[in-house]
């Protein structure tokens, strides 16, 4: 048979993205420039992780290693963890305290202060008049690469961009309102987990904005006879489209899941009873009934409150198919021991072993594996329409926020994401 | 160091060996039976333990919660198909009082997924408290402190 095909250039649009964006090393490199080092504020960590002068933690902006430090005057700084001499990693620990505020590269002992300014070079004048740097050598020109740093409610962000608007404007009023909600009182860090996915960071970014999969991929609730779709839910997007938040309010009255059973294709077992209901217990502690708050802030963090779990999930892009998710769990500073234990019990629901969410790691890898060799083929993101709306309720069966992600992403990438050729029936 | 009572040592090592094989053979429903009713099982990153931070990726403080995990694994959760293989060292008994014994043992859990490659999935140590009664040991608490703080994809099957 002689089927004719013609080759046509096709561009990715928010409802149809070329699968090559998950695999192409050139796209990945362009993202590092245009997204992570471009006009965005990237999440670096929580102020509560570095409460004292000299406290530091290593972090990432995209693939670039950076260090977040609290300086002597309580100001927080961030710099690229790359020695200005020969590029060695300067700070080699995950976290700690540098009491004297000096970070010394082990290789030739160049020393930097907490702001990242070069403050000491051994044998700068040489030894016994031999060697040393030229007299024109000016340490001021050899500091670590510094980021602009701003915090909002204890979430610290950094940027490489000199033109970007202030952090508060980048987040916008809607996102700020929800950040305020979680950070209504001082927090304390409860710990970390790190989850490594053999998949592209955007697959995870889509996943956290995808309300369609929630009740279909994650079957913990229906398995135990708890179907949550009948609750009040809403989705809101920031103006740029790429930040979003989902909220679901605490169930009112009985919940039934028959409508779910009719629609879903995976077989539903008869409800099993939970042996220990403390696992799911929810104690409203913010002045509303919201039991689930998942907020994705472009490009690299998710802020969540699910039941009584509070966490940030930082996305680290280590390669086109290598993504690390750093979970930072926290509670409120005034939690008593019993409250902390309750949070630990709730934490079973989320994270790399999360009973209601572990499937996300698998979904990312499945999409990565499935799209190998699929350059020029496109996904299909039209659940709930083909537009991007700033508010929608209920938020369930809609890919609005995924389209919002792509809208913002494509704008930042501009021409860097060149058109692909696709085979189209003639 | 003192040499632990060989009978006690044998009881604990036997429990650990049976525990590993139970999980590796996929007999998940039997796994809660290694624990007493009022138990604690947690899987926690060493980086948290070393920094005095309590957050664990699994935290079950009753046998019922262990059962709930198993039911979820069987019926709800989606994860890469895999085999686990536990390699558990001889236990070091760290104390005993009445019929309560504390001990620690190193473990490595190897994982083989459908691609057929066997990878070191999780390495760490068990920090345990046992109840020794009627010639058998059961776990009062097991804390799996893992070194492998970068979890590959997700951690579904208990350690
Ligand atoms: S590379 Fe850092 S001092 Fe030489
Ligand atoms: Fe999910």
Q: Strand B150-152 relative to strand A187-197: parallel, antiparallel, unpaired?
A: parallel
The answer to whether residue A379 scores a pLDDT higher than 70 is yes
Measured between alpha carbons, how far is A105 from A87 in angstroms, rounded to an integer?
10
Which residues in chain B are contacts of A272 at CB distance < 8 A? 71, 75
A1 domain residue, yes or no: no
The answer to whether residue A25 scores a pLDDT higher than 90 is yes
Whether the CB of A79 sits within 6 Å of ligand 1 = no
The reply to whether A388 and A349 lie within a common domain is yes
Q: Taking Cα atoms as reference points, which of A245, A250, A328, A236 lies closest to residue A286?
A: A250
The reply to whether A263 and A344 lie within a common domain is yes
Peptide bond connecting A257 to the previous residue in cis, omega within 30 degrees of 0: no
The answer to whether residue A423 scores a pLDDT higher than 80 is no
The reply to whether A196 and A124 lie within a common domain is no
A214 domain residue, yes or no: yes
Q: Choosing among A48, A51, A191, A195, which should be mutated to test the B contact, i.e. which has the most B CBs within 10 A? A: A191
Write the pLDDT tens digit of every residue in A321-356. Answer: 999 999 999 999 999 999 999 999 999 999 999 999
Q: What does pLDDT average to over chain B?
A: 96
The answer to whether residue B126 scores a pLDDT higher than 70 is yes
With a CB-CB cutoff of 8 Å, which residues 37-76 of chain B face chain A? Answer: 43-45, 47-48, 51, 53-65, 67-69, 71-72, 75-76
Q: Do the beta carbons of residue A66 and residue A44 sit within 8 Å?
A: yes
Domain boundaries, chain B: 6-146
Write the pLDDT tens digit of every residue in A50-105. Answer: 999 999 999 999 999 999 999 989 999 999 999 999 999 999 999 999 988 899 99
Specify whether the backbone of B89 is left (phi greater than 0), alpha (psi in -120 to 50) or beta.
beta
Write the pLDDT tens digit of every residue in A181-193. Answer: 999 999 999 999 9
The answer to whether residue A156 scores a pLDDT higher than 50 is yes
pLDDT of residue A425: 62
The reply to whether A119 and A53 lie within a common domain is yes
Name residue, tokens 């499937």.
Answer: A359
Write the pLDDT tens digit of every residue in A226-252. Answer: 765 557 899 999 999 999 999 998 765
Residue of B nearest to A94 (CA): B47
The reply to whether A317 and A389 lie within a common domain is yes
Distances (CA, A) of A283 to A174, A351, A394: 25, 20, 23
Distances (CA, A) of B101 to B7, B31, B49, B93, B105: 12, 20, 21, 7, 13
- pLDDT category at A162 given cuts 50, 70, 90 is very high
Among A41-50, A97-106, A119-128, A222-231, which range has the highest average pLDDT?
Answer: A41-50
Q: What is the CATH number of the domain that holds A235?
A: 3.90.380.10
Burial of B137 (C-beta count, 10 Å sphere; 0-12/13-18/19+): buried
Write the pLDDT tens digit of every residue in B76-106. Answer: 999 999 999 999 999 999 999 999 999 999 9
Task: Please tell me which residue, A137 or A10, carries the higher pLDDT value.
Answer: A137
Q: What does pLDDT average to over chain A?
A: 92
Residue at which a domain ends, from A150, A182, A207: A150
A11 domain residue, yes or no: no
Six-digit token string for A256: 């039934």
Q: Do the beta carbons of residue B117 and residue B131 sit within 8 Å?
A: no
Q: Compute the nearest-CA separation of A174 from chain B (Å).
A: 30
A8 domain residue, yes or no: no
The reply to whether A142 and A218 lie within a common domain is no
Which of A81, A83, A84, A92 gets mutated to test ligand 1 (max ligand atoms within 8 A of its CB)?
Answer: A83
The reply to whether A143 and A266 lie within a common domain is no
Q: What is the CATH number of the domain that holds A107?
A: 2.102.10.10
Distances (CA, A) of B143 to A36, A116, A121, B56, B130: 38, 40, 47, 9, 12
Six-digit token string for A95: 């976290």
The reply to whether A283 and A389 lie within a common domain is yes
Q: Do the beta carbons of residue A376 and residue A18 sit within 8 Å?
A: yes
Measured between alpha carbons, how far is A173 from A208 in angstroms, rounded to an integer?
21
A271 Cβ neighbours under 8 A, 6+ residues apart: A222, A223, A224, A225
Which of A108, A112, A137 gets mutated to test ligand 1 (max ligand atoms within 8 A of its CB)?
Answer: A108
> What is the torsional sign of CA A36, A41, A46, A49?
positive
Six-digit token string for A318: 């280590």
A365 domain residue, yes or no: yes
B151 with A348: Cβ contact below 8 A: no
C-alpha triplet A194, A199, A200: angle, nearest 5° = 105
Beta-bridge partners for B111: B84, B119
Name residue, tokens 């209601």.
Answer: A356
Q: Strand A391-392 relative to strand A155-159: parallel, antiparallel, unpaired?
A: unpaired
CATH topology of domain B6-146: Nuclear Transport Factor 2; Chain: A, (3.10.450)
Number of domains in chain A: 2
The reply to whether A394 and A313 lie within a common domain is yes
The answer to whether residue B1 scores a pLDDT higher than 60 is no
Residue A110 lies in domain: 42-150
Atom of ligand 1 nearest to the CA of A83: 2
A14 domain residue, yes or no: no
Q: Do the beta carbons of residue A193 and residue A315 sit within 8 Å?
A: no
The reply to whether A281 and A361 lie within a common domain is yes
A10 domain residue, yes or no: no
Measured between alpha carbons, how far is A307 from A343 in angstroms, rounded to an integer?
9
The answer to whether residue B2 scores a pLDDT higher than 80 is no
Describe the strand order of the beta sheet including A118-120 as a list of residue ranges.
A103-104, A111-112, A118-120
Task: Please tell me which residue, A373 or A251, carries the higher pLDDT value.
Answer: A373
Which residues in chain B are contacts of A344 at CB distance < 8 A? 54-56, 59
The reply to whether A137 and A231 lie within a common domain is no
Distances (CA, A) of A131 to A88, A108, A118, B4: 22, 14, 20, 63
pLDDT of residue B137: 96
A20 domain residue, yes or no: no
């Amino acid at each position: 048979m002689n089927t004719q095909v013609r080759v046509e250039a096709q561009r990715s649009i928010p409802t149809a993205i070329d699968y090559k964006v998950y695999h192409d090393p050139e796209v990945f490199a362009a993202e590092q420039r245009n997204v992570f080092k471009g006009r965005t504020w990237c999440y670096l960590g929580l102020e509560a992780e570095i409460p004292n002068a000299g406290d530091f933690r290593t972090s990432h902006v995209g693939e670039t290693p950076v260090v977040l430090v609290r300086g002597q005057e309580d100001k927080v700084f961030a710099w690229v963890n790359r020695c200005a001499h020969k590029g060695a990693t300067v700070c080699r620990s995950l976290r700690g305290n540098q009491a004297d505020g000096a970070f010394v590269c082990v290789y030739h002992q160049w020393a930097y202060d907490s702001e990242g300014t070069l403050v000491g070079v051994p044998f700068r004048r040489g030894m016994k008049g031999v060697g040393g740097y030229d007299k024109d050598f000016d340490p001021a020109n050899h500091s670590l690469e510094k980021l602009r740093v701003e915090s909002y409610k204890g979430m610290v962000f950094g940027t490489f961009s000199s033109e970007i608007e202030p952090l508060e404007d980048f987040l916008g009023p809607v996102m700020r309102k929800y950040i305020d909600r979680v950070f209504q009182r001082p927090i304390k860090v409860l710990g970390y987990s790190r989850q490594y996915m053999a998949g592209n960071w955007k697959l995870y970014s889509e996943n956290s904005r995808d309300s369609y999969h929630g009740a279909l991929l994650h079957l913990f609730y229906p398995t135990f006879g708890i179907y949550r779709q009948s609750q009040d839910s809403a989705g809101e997007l920031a103006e740029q489209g790429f930040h979003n938040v989902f909220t679901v309010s605490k169930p009112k009255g009985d919940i039934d899941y028959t409508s779910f059973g009719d629609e879903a294709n995976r077989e539903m077992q008869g409800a099993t009873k939970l042996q220990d209901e403390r696992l799911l217990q929810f104690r409203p502690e913010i002045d509303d009934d919201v039991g689930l708050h998942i907020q994705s802030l472009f490009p690299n963090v998710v802020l969540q409150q699910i039941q009584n779990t509070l966490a940030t999930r930082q996305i680290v892009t280590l390669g086109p198919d290598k993504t690390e998710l750093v979970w930072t769990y926290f509670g409120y500073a005034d939690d008593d021991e019993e409250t902390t234990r309750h949070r630990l019990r709730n934490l079973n629901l989320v994270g790399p072993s999360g009973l209601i969410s572990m499937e996300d790691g698998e979904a990312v890898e499945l999409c990565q594996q499935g799209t190998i060799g699929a350059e020029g083929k496109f996904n299909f993101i039209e659940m709930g329409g083909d537009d991007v709306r700033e508010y929608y309720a209920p938020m369930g069966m809609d890919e609005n926020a995924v389209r919002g992600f792509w809208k913002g992403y494509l704008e930042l990438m501009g021409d860097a994401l060149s058109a692909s050729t696709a085979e189209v029936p003639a | 160091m003192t040499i632990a009572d060989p009978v006690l040592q044998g009881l604990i090592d036997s429990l650990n060996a049976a525990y590993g094989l139970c999980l590796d053979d996929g007999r998940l429903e039997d796994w809660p039976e290694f624990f007493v009713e009022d138990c604690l099982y947690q899987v926690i990153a060493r980086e948290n333990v070393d920094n005095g931070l309590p957050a664990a990726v699994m935290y079950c403080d009753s046998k019922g919660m262990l059962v709930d995990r198993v039911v979820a694994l069987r019926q709800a959760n989606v994860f890469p198909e895999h085999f686990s293989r536990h390699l558990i060292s001889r236990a070091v008994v760290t104390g005993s009082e009445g019929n309560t014994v504390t001990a620690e043992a190193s473990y490595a859990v190897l994982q083989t997924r459908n691609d057929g490659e066997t990878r070191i999935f999780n390495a760490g140590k068990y920090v345990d408290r046992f109840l020794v009664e009627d010639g058998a040991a059961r776990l009062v608490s097991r804390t799996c402190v893992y070194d492998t703080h970068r979890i590959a994809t997700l951690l579904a099957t208990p350690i």
